[in-house]
Structure 1
């Protein structure tokens, strides 16, 4: 066999060999695990991947592959980088149905255009999946371009993407997923800038060269990761037991110092930590802290009990509130 014929055969073999997806196996494996766990933990929904491809595409190519009636969510990333996640109509409808009804019907959902309310309901699942991707890539090189993104806003259609996204190369993770036991199928497309702008991965230190951490430091790290419940208290009222037993229907209990801008963030024991203001964030109730939380101790806030008999006329502000 001549050298020329050998080169021809070698080129044919190389052309037939499938190319490894760019960014695999780190981003490939990480996104599979992160999205499946987010659907399971947030909604109790089984999500399996039928296929996942990772490719480098231009902005023009991305705009041509937007699924019909897809939910488009803009993602905010490190150093001002922007990405986008596209949920197919079946995926969006299944997420909403599982959250609202707690189960999936036997009939497939009717295709419809996603709304801003739909985006608000799935924003938590998207953020949970992206956070899981960060955790899966903490020691992977793909963390530089795939890490640090979170839900930013909802887009009604794909037209603004041509103006909002920079005209650069993007890494596109296109997945075909199966939802629930009914075998519903849909698409999930994650588009992130190919140029890495995120933090570098944290490489595992060499145990032979690294110093062994002290027991107290390791214990402190474990304790600081433990969960802690905090209560947001708008007002507190302390009454004698005989006065509580004498309460009647229609009686009004006055909270003179209560207010939406005077919320107290407290521990389960009633210790005041920091003042806050009640508001909302992405359609959910939220607290905005008025100052930083410190290690100082403070006495619990106790309001003087005031009871207004039912026979007395309630104040004007209560009558206006109904």
Structure 2
């Protein structure tokens, strides 16, 4: 029988054979991984993948993942839209075999010389990795693993195998390791590592209690805002100098400041509004500021009574006194 006749006969048999009932041809995750690798090799590079043996390992984080896949010749991250990220890797022999098959049409004998993967290597292997993920998803359609495989695609970048453990996202992974032969001669190891769990989809969370009053949410929001860090600066005074004067400064020089600077220290954000004014001094042996006036931007109940510096000093709370070495301004009343 001629080859066209054989093809026609096979086509007629496929058309007349009834489709299997749903679930009768269920494929396990491991079997699907092996079949996907065989499909990817044939479709992307015309490679015959044989003698496949798959093992599954679950690891708790990135360091263990690096220990298992650290001997790979090529490691490609595979991000998903939900921010999960998996990793596909080929041994040095698998990398050189795919490159040789793609460029020359045949795989040389032996194991191939180990070398660092280049950008050209990544481009030549991209089709194989892409077809593998597509085939694995197709084989797992309508199974409980369909959602677990959804969305992953090879990225346009590589990860150096020696730093893999420190570069990957530190989450638990499930690693499928396949030992196989390419074209019956080249020993190849292929790794497919995906996070064990996927992030919960938006809107899939259990509904929360919506009976809370709007006022309760407002209070919680206000409390969260008020706990935010606030960075303030205390400015003793501001001087207007020429650039030439500043250029002539030297260690030990004196920079005169007005005597009123002690009682007019401003507190606020850089290039922002003034929050309060204060007087410079010390309390309990450390430098301190005694607040004189609070800005009207604060809540009314938090606004302090405005006091002039001499009146504020007369209160002397907690032993507050002028900073040593700086004379207090004389009381105009004396």
Q: TM-score, normalised by structure 1?
A: 0.50
Maintained 8 Å contact 1:178/1:184: yes
Paired residues for 1:1-322 under 5 Å: 26-58=28-60, 59-68=62-71, 70-158=73-161, 161-162=164-165, 164-181=167-184, 183-197=185-199
Distance 2:183 2:43 in 1: 14
Distance in 1, matches of 2:162 and 2:115, equals 18
Contact 1:69/1:112 (8 A) holds in 2 = no
Distance 1:90 1:78, change over 3 A: same
Q: Distance in 1 between matches of 2:155 and 2:161?
A: 15
Distance 2:72 2:132 in 1: 22
- What root-mean-square deviation, in Å, do the aligned CA atoms of Structure 1 and Structure 2 show? 2.2
Query: Residue 51 of structure 1: SS of its match in structure 2?
Result: strand
Q: Secondary structure at the match of 1:79?
A: coil
Deviations 1:151-209 (A, max 9, x none): 0133241365445533211111011111103x21121111101003599xxxxxxxxxx
CA deviations on 1:57-89 (whole Å, 9 max, x unpaired) are: 122211112243520101012401111111000
- Preserved contact between residue 71 and residue 88 of structure 1 (Cα < 8 Å): yes
TM superposition shift of 1:31: 1.1
Q: Structure 1's 62 and 69: CA in aligned 2 closer, same or farther, altered over 3 A?
A: closer
SS at the partner of 1:171? strand
Structure 1 unaligned segments of length 5 or more: list them.
1-23, 200-322
How much has 1:49 moved relative to structure 2?
4.3
| Higher Cα radius of gyration | 2
Q: In 2, Cα distance between the equivalents of 1:112 and 1:56? A: 28
- 2:43 and 2:155 mapped to 1: Cα distance? 21
Q: Structure 2: state its 5+ residue gaps.
A: 1-25, 202-334
For 2:292, the equivalent position in structure 1 comes to none
* Aligned residues of 2:70 and 2:164 also touching (Cα < 8 A): no
Compute the displacement of 1:105 (Å): 2.4
Work out whether residues 30 and 136 of structure 1, in 8 Å CA contact, stay in contact via their aligned partners in 2. yes
Question: Secondary structure of the equivalent of 1:152?
Answer: coil
Return closer, same or farther for 1:152/1:119 CA change in 2, 3 Å cut-off: same
